[in-house]
Structure 1
Amino acid sequence: MGKPLVIGVDAGATTTRCVVSDLDGTIVARGTAGGANQNSSGTALAADQTSARAPFGADQTSVRASFGADQTSARAPFGADRMPSGVPFGADRNFSGVTRVPFGADRNSGGAAPGEALTAALREAVAGLDPARVALGVIGVAGAGAAGRDAARAAVLDAWRAADLPGRVVTVTDLEVAFAAGTPAPDGLLLLAGTGAVSAAFAGSRLSRRCDGFGWLAGDEGSAVWLGREALRAVLRALDGRGPQTALVAAVSRVLGTAAAEESVLTDTPMLGGVAASGPVLSAADDPDERAQALLRIVYGRPPAALGRLAPVVNDLAARGDPVALALAREAAGHLLHALHTVARGGVPGGGPVVVAGSVLLSPGLVRDLVCAGIQERFGMAPIEARDGAAGAAWLALGELDAPADRRATHARLTATPR
């Protein structure tokens, strides 16, 4: 049958990554799929959202009315549009081209539920392997805290069975796998800022405290989605006159695929934040209100996680000295450091390391620079980067089996393997 294997999965909001490892920490296979966060990827982890496990804002009625649907029904969601048009909450009811899809519906995954992303990543990783060799799996799921634990566990079990895998599977949050990806130490701090944002303290290999991580609607301050949302708000304020003019108007328009504003931007910066321009071009003479409505049409037709694509644009323009982008980058770093200081409560548990994870903190930019400098100043140490959450999950799986003879060497092998 061959030597036993373990599986580790990092199911994030935009990407699901899976690794298969032997008991010595050598990665033998990988798999990837789309996002699997029930709160930001656009659909619930458990497919039927009429169940008691449906996340806040999901359909709770037999007619499947979306968040923001017509409230002529007595059971329509709180805060939804009370007009009988069925147009999404916040969308322009006079704009003839509006796409009538609720904000949060996934337009980028072909309609696949996040639970299907778990199955796809598992199947890709074990293709060509004997599934009978799999002894254990650990799956870290973004959005699997107390509020979403039951739905996450149900989706993980369904995906495990759908992939025809034997053995036991353990569901944890993305915090455990991120911390384990950065260090084999049992104590320390984690600051994660990707699609979402959360800080956490670990003691004795257990999550002891956490701060924020409340999702795109209620928290995640300093995350990629937060940066994107604040950038969009700054653009809308600039367009309707409430706020100062900013280069974010042109850059956000380009990344969202609606327009670029000035010919100089098109000529001098054909790519902003690593995202090429696309979509129809609007001239500088276009009506600002029409541009705002065009932006809203696209934003309200995509999942919340899609706003995270604007985070690199904020970093890029902050580096170029745009005052609005600079203020947003500094505010994001301030939020992240405040959350970390709050969860630390005076120090690092057990004298352990500070681990940073997520695209905002692992990609070059002002937010990362300010946060790393703040960690050095506050805790007297440079942070450790956690770049492979799936390897961290596999490390936890090996720990469940008490498998590694040399824990540090095994951890180094797992986390040093290029993704």
Structure 2
Amino acid sequence: MPDLIETTGAIVGVDVGGTKTHLRALVAGETVDRVVPSELWRAGAIFDDTVNFDRLAQLVLETAGTVPDVTIVGSHGIDSTRQRLQATALLGERMPGHVEVVNDAVLLAPAMGLETAVCVIAGTGSVIVGFDADGEPVTADGYGWLIADDASAPGISRRAAVALLRAVDESGAAAMADPLGARFLAAFEAVDHVDLALRFQAAASEASWGGFAPEVFAAVADGSTIAQTVIAASATHLADAVVAVRRRGARGSDVVAAGGVMTAQPLLAELLRTELRTRDGALHLHVLDEPPVVGALALAAARRDQFSPRKVLL
């Protein structure tokens, strides 16, 4: 028989990224912080194995050390209302209290203390999320590193490889003298552009391509015109997506940007700010200066205020 447990007022916020999972619990006025590699509990993508949700529930309960009243999870890979409801149901079956799973971009506005904003993530993946007048998400991109997510770390590397090879098509092998070419050849141990194309594709993975993205920004600093064009195109892509979700009903003129690429590379943020201004002078970009888990905990606190403590099944 399951035990009846009186909830304690504890709340938990979780930010699930492509590489790491950040948990923060508020228990009896004390904050518990924990960061673990996402691969510690997640096998493949979040829906690839339902046991992922067993492990995530266990991780939440271990972090809180008690039964939380409310758990809010913002997760990479929750990109539709169907997925949100499915993930919420799967996690809710495995742990007590009020549980919600949302896209990780949803955490950005509350993390900045904003009620309404269009949220932009550029990190392991890239996605743009806004909300319409009914509170339903309006999204763009987020389809995965191999075919989309053009401003993600692997997406920037993919775009850079294509741009370099197109430059060779246009100008001949001399184009490889661009600083970006030297960095590509060294990173993939290639002898020329043909060998690079083969090795780059053979190494296709989120981690491998994503790991090269800092080299693209470093090549800009070295004077690479090709790398500069790649980063500018990524900023344009994000700005176009922000405009698109607003045209489709997303509310707010504040834009909150986060993710490892965005926060580690000021050039991308500055180019995005410029691109947004050229499209609509009312758009105001904020680069998140708090970990997104702050937003998850803020949402959990708001949900807790809607519920009174109650007994739940454990």
Give the match for residue 99 of structure 2: 169
Match of 2:69 among 132, 135, 141: 135
Give the match for residue 249 of structure 1: 181
Deviation at 1:359, TM superposition (A): 2.0
Cα shift readout 1:34-53 (whole Å, capped 9, x = no counterpart)? 25999xxx8232445xxxx9
Task: Give me the TM-score of the superposition, normalised by structure 1.
Answer: 0.60
Q: Distance in 1 between matches of 2:297 and 2:245?
A: 26
Cα shift readout 1:122-157 (whole Å, capped 9, x = no counterpart)? 36623xx3x13x111011112112364466346635
Q: Conserved in 2, the CA contact under 8 Å of 1:188 and 1:203?
A: no
Give the match for residue 103 of structure 1: none
Q: Distance in 1 between matches of 2:181 and 2:54?
A: 36
Give the match for residue 317 of structure 1: 219
Give the match for residue 310 of structure 2: none
Q: 1:400 to 1:352 in 2, by over 3 A?
A: farther
Give the match for residue 22 of structure 2: 17
Q: Conserved in 1, the CA contact under 8 Å of 2:122 and 2:258?
A: yes
Match of 2:36 among 8, 32, 35: 32
Q: Conserved in 2, the CA contact under 8 Å of 1:135 and 1:168?
A: yes
**Matched ranges for 1:16-415 at <5 A:** 16-22=21-27, 27-34=31-38, 43-48=44-49, 118=56, 121-122=59-60, 125-126=63-64, 129=65, 131-132=66-67, 134-146=68-80, 148-149=83-84, 152-153=87-88, 156-157=91-92, 161=94, 165-185=95-115, 187-202=116-131, 206-235=135-164, 244-245=175-176, 246-255=178-187, 258-259=188-189, 286=191, 289-297=194-202, 299-300=203-204, 303-345=205-247, 349=251, 353-376=254-277, 378-380=280-282, 382-386=284-288, 387-402=290-305
Deviation at 1:335, TM superposition (A): 0.5
Q: Which moved more, 1:371-380 or 1:355-364?
A: 371-380
Deviation at 1:234, TM superposition (A): 3.8
Q: Distance in 2 between matches of 1:336 and 1:143?
A: 18
| Structure 2 residue ranges without an equivalent (≥5) | 1-5, 308-314
| Structure 1 residue ranges without an equivalent (≥5) | 54-112, 260-281, 405-419
User: Counterpart of 2:125 in structure 1: which amino acid?
Assistant: G
Cα shift readout 1:293-324 (whole Å, capped 9, x = no counterpart)? 34433x13xx3354222222222212332011
Q: 1:215 to 1:121 in 2, by over 3 A?
A: same
Q: 1:140 to 1:230 in 2, by over 3 A?
A: same
Q: Conserved in 1, the CA contact under 8 Å of 2:173 and 2:193?
A: no
Q: Conserved in 1, the CA contact under 8 Å of 2:88 and 2:99?
A: no
Aligned residue pair count: 296
Counterpart secondary structure, 2:139:
strand
Higher relative contact order (CA 8 A, sep 6+): 2
Give the match for residue 312 of structure 2: none
Task: Give me the TM-score of the superposition, normalised by structure 2.
Answer: 0.77
Cα shift readout 1:159-212 (whole Å, capped 9, x = no counterpart)? xx4xxx532321111122222222242x22222222222223235692442222
Q: Distance in 1 between matches of 2:162 and 2:59?
A: 35
The structure carrying a bigger strand percent of its residues is: 2
Q: Distance in 1 between matches of 2:35 and 2:162?
A: 36
Counterpart secondary structure, 2:175:
coil
Q: Conserved in 1, the CA contact under 8 Å of 2:107 and 2:293?
A: yes
Report the RMSD for the aligned CA atoms in angstroms.
Answer: 3.7
Q: Conserved in 2, the CA contact under 8 Å of 1:199 and 1:340?
A: yes
Q: 1:334 to 1:352 in 2, by over 3 A?
A: closer
Q: Distance in 2 between matches of 1:308 and 1:221?
A: 11
Q: Distance in 1 between matches of 2:79 and 2:175?
A: 39
Q: Conserved in 2, the CA contact under 8 Å of 1:190 and 1:354?
A: yes
User: Counterpart of 2:77 in structure 1: which amino acid?
Assistant: G
Deviation at 1:8, TM superposition (A): 0.7
Deviation at 1:4, TM superposition (A): 1.8
Q: Distance in 2 between matches of 1:353 and 1:289?
A: 44
Q: Distance in 2 between matches of 1:46 and 1:199?
A: 21
The structure carrying a bigger helix percent of its residues is: 2
Q: Conserved in 2, the CA contact under 8 Å of 1:32 and 1:124?
A: no
Cα shift readout 1:365-404 (whole Å, capped 9, x = no counterpart)? 3222111233355344642233322221111111112279
Identity percentage over the alignment?
26
